[in-house]
Amino acid sequence: MAMRRYRNEHDRSVFSRRSLVLFGAQGALATALGARMYQLQIIEGEKYAARADRARIRPSLLAPVRGQIISRDGKPLAVNRHNYKVVLYREETEDIEGTLDQLSALIPLPPLRRKALAEEIRRTRAFLPVVIAENLKWDEFAEVNANAPALAGISPELGLTRHYPEADFTGHLVGYVASASERDVERAGKDGSLLKLPGMRIGKSGVERVEEIALRGKAGLSRVEKDAHGRPMQELERREGTPGEDLTLTVDMDLQKYAMQRMGEESGAVVVMDIYDGDVLAMASTPGFDPNGFVLGLSQKDWLSLRDNEKKPLNNKAVSGLYPPGSTFKMVVAMAALEAGLIGPGHSVYCGGHIELGSHRFHCWKRGGHGTVNLHEGIKQSCDVYFYDIAKRLGIDRLAETARKFGVGVLPEIGLVDAKAGTMPDTAWKRAYKNEAWYPGETLHAGIGQGYVTGSPLQLAVMTARIANGGFEVHPRLVRARNGDRVKTRSLRGTGIDKAHVEAVKRAMYGVVNESGGTARRSRIAMPGYEMAGKTGTAQVRRITTAERAAGVFKNEDLPWERRDHALFVAFAPADDPRYAISVIVEHGGGGSKVAAPIARDVLLKLQFPKEIPEGAIPQGAAPVFTVEKEDEEDGSEDA
C-alpha cells in the first residue's frame, strides 16, 4: 500500500516537471514568434511592404519608336508602318495548342511557324507575351478581332514595323532590321532587356546597323497592377520612351535609282561622291535585294535563291568587293614617280609591246606596242610598258607610301561594318602575310594595278576625289543630318603631294576621254563646261599563257562569264572645275572603255542634268544615253 502511494507521488512529480518544461518551451517559442512578428511587422515592415508592392505592381519596358531614314532629296528610305499583329498571353489560356488550332482557322499558321512558336513559348517567361503573327492583312486582322472573345489568351494589337519604300534600290546601303539574337542581347548590356521585347527589331546591316543606337532611341516604362495570377488589372503609370533620331543620308535617291537601273543585269557597283565634303551621292551595288523580305521573314526558297546566286546579291560590292584596280591605278604610280623625282612629265619610254625582266617578259595590252610615249600619252593610251618601267625604277615601298595617301589599301572611314581595306602591298606586308621576300616582277604587276593590289569601288572613288580636288584628304560620309541638324564635314588637309604633279595627272585624265587616241574618247561628254576626265581599267582574273598569246588571246565574249576580265572606269566632272568623282566596276564585264565608261558618262550626265539631259550632250555616233520611264509614286498613307 505504501509502495503504491510512493509510485503515485513519483509519477505526479515527473508529470509536473515535464509539464513545466513543455510549458516553458511553448512560452519560449511564443516569445520568439512574437519577437519575430514584431521585427517583421514593426522594425522591417516597410521593407517587406515594398517587396509585396513590387510583386503586385510589375514594371515593363516600352519599345521606343525607331528613327526614320530619308535621302538628301527628301525621299523616305526607312519608315515605320502600322503592323497588325496577334499576341498570345499564355497565362490567360490553359490550352495553348487548342487556342492555336482555333486561330489557324482564321489566319495562316504553317507547320514550320507552329514549330518555331512552340520553341519560342518554351523559352519565353510566362508573364511575357509572344507574337504569334504579324504584318497581317486588314481582313485577317478584322477576322481575329471579331472572334477574339472566343480565343482565350489571344489579343489582336496594332504596332509598328519597319518598311523600306525604295526596296532593292537601297537594300545594301540602308540595310534592314530583324529580331535580336542571343549574342546581340549579350552585347547590348543594360539594353538587353529591351531587345527581348516581343516584336523588337535591331539593325543587322547597312546604315540600320551602323546607326543602331541613334535610331533605336531610349525605352519607356509602364507600371501595371496585376492580380495574384499575374494578370494585368490596370496601368498605374506610363512614361513613353525617347524616339530614335531621324537621319538624313547624303545619298540623292534619284541618282541612286538611276545608277542601279543603269547597271541593269550586270554584277558590280557605282560610287559617286562630292570631292570636297565627301558626301556619297550614290552607292549602287548590283544585283540588289529587297530588305523588306528580311523584316517580314524570308521563305527558305527565297533565302536559298539569294545565297546561291553567282552574282552574290547580298554582298555590298561598293564597299566589300575587292578587285585589282587595273589601269585606274596608273595615276597613283605616275604621281609616286614624280614625287620621288625619278621622272618628269616629259619622261619617255619606248613601248614595243613588252618589257623584259630577267627571263620573264611582261606584255603591254597593245600587241604591237605604242612606240615612244611620255607621261601624258602613257596615261591617255594606258601603255603598260611605260608603267612597268617607272614602277621598276620606283620600287614597291615608295609606290605603296604614295598609294596610301590616296586611300588605296586604307579602310575608308565610312562606318559600314562590311567595308574592307583592300591591299596595298609592300616588302613588309609580304613578309608578314606570306613569309616571303618581295620579287622585282611583283613590282611590275603592281605598277599596272594587278598582282596583290586590290581595292573596293569606294576606295577608287576616294582615290579619284583626292586627285580631282588637287590632292586633299577627303573622307566619304553617309549621314548628312541628324534630326534636321547638319553634320559637320571634316576639314580638308593636304596629302603632301605637289600640286603640279596632281595637275599633270589630271590633264592626262582629260586626254583619256577628250583627246584623239584616248581610251575612253567614245564615251566623252560633248557639252562645253560639263566634260569629264577619267581613266579606263581592265583587270584580269585569269592568267594568259604563252601558248594562248601566240595563238591569239581569247576575247572576253568567248569565255565563260566567271573567267572574263573586270571592267573599270574612274572619272571626275566637270573637268575644268571638278565637283564629283565616280568609280564604276562591272564584274566580268570585259573592257573598261567599252562597258564601264559609258555607265559613268550616263550617271555623271544625270547628276549634272537631273531634269533632262540636253541634246548634244554626247557626240554623234556615240551610244545613246540610258533613260528610264518615270514610275508612279507609291502611296505612303500607311507610314507612321
Catalytic residues: 327
614 and 591 Cβ atoms separated by less than 8 Å: no
Select from 572, 577, 580 the least CA-distant residue to 535: 572
- Kindly state the cell numbers that stand for 490: 571634316
Burial 366-397 (b: 16+ CB within 10 A, else e): eeebbeebbbbbbbbbbbbbbbbbbbbebbbe
What element of type H or E holds 571?
strand 566-573
247 and 216 Cβ atoms separated by less than 8 Å: no
DSSP H stretches of helix in 276-362: 292-296, 300-307, 317-320, 330-339
Residues in the chain: 640
242 and 269 Cβ atoms separated by less than 8 Å: no
Distance (Å, whole) CA 425 – CA 451: 9
SS3 content of the chain, % helix, strand, coil (to 5): 40, 20, 40
What element of type H or E holds 582?
strand 580-586
Phi first, then psi: give them for residue 2, nearest 5 degrees: -65, -40
SS3 (DSSP) at 546? helix
Distance (Å, whole) CA 211 – CA 199: 19
What element of type H or E holds 77?
strand 76-88
- Sequence letter at residue 395: G
DSSP 593: I
Dihedral of alpha carbons 505, 506, 510, 512, sign:
positive
Distance (Å, whole) CA 505 – CA 510: 9
Dihedral of alpha carbons 367, 370, 375, 377, sign:
negative
